[in-house]
Chain A
Amino acid sequence: MILPDINLPAILPDLNLLDNVLYTTSKSQVTPGDLIKFVIVLTFSIIFLRVIIIYLRRTLKDHVSKDVGEPILKLLYYGSLVVIFISILPLIGIDPSGLLLAGGVAGIVLGFASQNIVGNLVSGCFLMFERPIKIGDQVDVNGIAGYVTDIRIISTLIRTYDGLLVRIPNQQVFTTNITNIVGHPVRRFEYTIRIRYSDDAGAAIWLIKDLIDKEPFALLSPSPSVFVNELGDSSVNIVVRIWAPVSEWFGLKTRLLWNIKKTLEENGIEIPYPQRVLHIKSETEKKPQLAEEPNINRLEETEPVLNFEERVLN
């Protein structure tokens, strides 16, 4: 079979699409092929870097804590990405050295356009280096309390105590007051225990100290303190101050308070209700000119307050 003589170049005007010049820079001419190469190299670099980071994360998992390892890995990832990006810029006809000059002008323009993003980025870098908070810490940032689950380049993720995920821009984290609840290895908590005036405060203090001594996580040093702090309106107020490891203080606080209450009650020491003593003047005192009152009036003087009120109401 003989093929008819067809002029293929006339039908398919140009098969070398990839060699067409898209645009020309001062250094070179850029073709679609260059552009595709640029995208392919960048894509493979990102994939390669991610694989390396995953491998390193698994390797370092048992050796380096997460709060130390993650910033290092992020720095490695983004640093490598920037280096690769700059080094393949010539593929698309951009001279990296020109970026220094262009960067000055473009930087100003971009800076104004994206100052929030850049601000968050810079704050993110400072957060990673200064490390006022670490991944896993319990913090209170601007009224949002919870666990730091991740410190990203732009934002910080916090899991609140009731399980909500809150994303806070790094600029806000960096410029606001941060309370790091686990910033120190130990922390103190306090109770005020109220006992009746008729109870033995010395015995109550001894019982509370004994309970503290039996609690493993109530630290020996700094030593706990238990003392009468105030002679209140209705009660003698005993203050209990205990130091505990930051990881254990909350469990200890909730457990020990109830134990103190139970132990004091078992030993006859009770927590009083608020009370007020009323002195009721009798008619005798109001009217001293009346010389003798029958015996029944004397009984009324010592009549309980409740009965007195009942009588008045009735």
Chain B
Amino acid sequence: MYGYYDPPFSVEKDGISISLDKTGDRWVYRRTSGKDEVEKLVLGDRKRIIINPVEPLNTPKEITPNLLIEFEKTVLLAGGEKRQIFLTFPVEIGVFISDIGDKNPQLIDVLSLSRQKFTLYGEVSNGVVCKHWKSRLYSVSPDLNPLQEGVMELTLRNASSEWASISKAVFSAYGMKLYYDGDVFMKARMEILNRNTAETGFDMQPVNGEMKGYLVKDQKIRKEAFGVYSLRKLGFVPLKFYMGWGF
């Protein structure tokens, strides 16, 4: 379903139907997903529709830019160690309209097939509300439905000298960079600073060639997705997340 479409077009998969058709002298965008139906008028020609995965923080309502991934099993990481694990994260499907040449992309619709749940990270008085996702841990990249889940390659580094017990990681959407091509992929890092604090961020570097273990893919094949957050004109927004209430 992900890709670039020149109108008129219609695409359907996993119960989602997206189309842009000409009715009279105007274009009509239609999307159905279960009981959810969206219809919008598009005034203007020579437009292109881009469907790609976006940060999982826009549905059912954008109330936080933070994603908390809870690990199904706690990870114990020795002091000074650096290890890679694979996690899953929820995917939202963003529909953009752009000028020919993919300039000025504008989000027109966003939907999700994943479970929606929020949680609080930190204290009631000064914590942060986060979108919640529970993930299994994998040593190699799992095969997932790209319309529902993506793969996150997380590099854990314990900068302290003590063992670290890690059961969750919080990420800021402002730094997220998603890639897609058959799968949806993000590359993140988490640095344990001491017993209670850690810092998370995302790598903008090309996708790791060992992504699929045996199936070699490189960044030239995988496309970079337009992000909802990355399209915004942001001021001084930190791209990293400082986890000060434990992990």
User: Which residues of chain A have a CB within 8 Å of any CB of chain B?
Assistant: 62-64, 184-186, 216-217, 219-222, 243, 245, 247-248
Shortest A210–chain B CB gap in Å is: 13
Interface centre among A184, A221, A243, A245 (most CB of B within 10 A): A221
Q: Given A220-B117, A220-B119, A221-B119, does the pair A186, B129 have CB atoms closer than 8 Å?
A: yes
CB neighbours of A64 from chain B (8 A): 235
Q: How large is the interface on B (under 10, 10 to 19, 20 to 34, 35 or more residues)?
A: 20 to 34
Q: Which of A62, A185, A220, A222 contacts B128 (CB 8 A)?
A: A185
- Given A216-B60, A222-B120: 5 more A-B contacts, CB < 8 Å: A185-B127, A219-B129, A220-B117, A220-B132, A222-B124
CB neighbours of A221 from chain B (8 A): 119-121
User: Which residues of chain B have a CB within 8 Å of any CB of chain A?
Assistant: 60-61, 63-64, 116-121, 124-129, 132, 233-236
- Beta-carbon contact of A247 and B63 below 8 Å: yes
Instruction: Closest B residue to A251 by CB, please name it.
Output: B61
Q: How far is the CA of A181 from the CA of B182 in the complex (A)?
A: 46
CB neighbours of B236 from chain A (8 A): 63
Shortest A175–chain B CB gap in Å is: 24
CB neighbours of B61 from chain A (8 A): 248
CB neighbours of B126 from chain A (8 A): 184-185
- Beta-carbon contact of A186 and B235 below 8 Å: no
Q: How many A-B residue pairs have CB under 8 A?
A: 48
- What is the interface of chain A mostly: helix, strand, loop, or mixed? loop
- Beta-carbon contact of B235 and A219 below 8 Å: no
Shortest B237–chain A CB gap in Å is: 9
CB neighbours of A220 from chain B (8 A): 117-119, 132
- Beta-carbon contact of B124 and A217 below 8 Å: no
Q: How far is the CA of A222 from the CA of B132 in the complex (A)?
A: 13
Q: Which of A63, A185, A248 contacts B120 (CB 8 A)?
A: A185
Q: Given A220-B118, A245-B118, does the pair A186, B127 have CB atoms closer than 8 Å?
A: yes
CB neighbours of B116 from chain A (8 A): 216
Instruction: Closest B residue to A183 by CB, please name it.
Output: B125
Shortest B145–chain A CB gap in Å is: 20
Q: How far is the CA of A248 from the CA of B234 in the complex (A)?
A: 25
Q: How far is the CA of A247 from the CA of B62 in the complex (A)?
A: 11
Q: How far is the CA of A221 from the CA of B63 in the complex (A)?
A: 16
- Beta-carbon contact of B120 and A62 below 8 Å: no
Instruction: Closest A residue to B122 by CB, please name it.
Output: A185
Shortest B12–chain A CB gap in Å is: 26
Q: How far is the CA of A216 from the CA of B58 in the complex (A)?
A: 12
CB neighbours of A248 from chain B (8 A): 61, 63
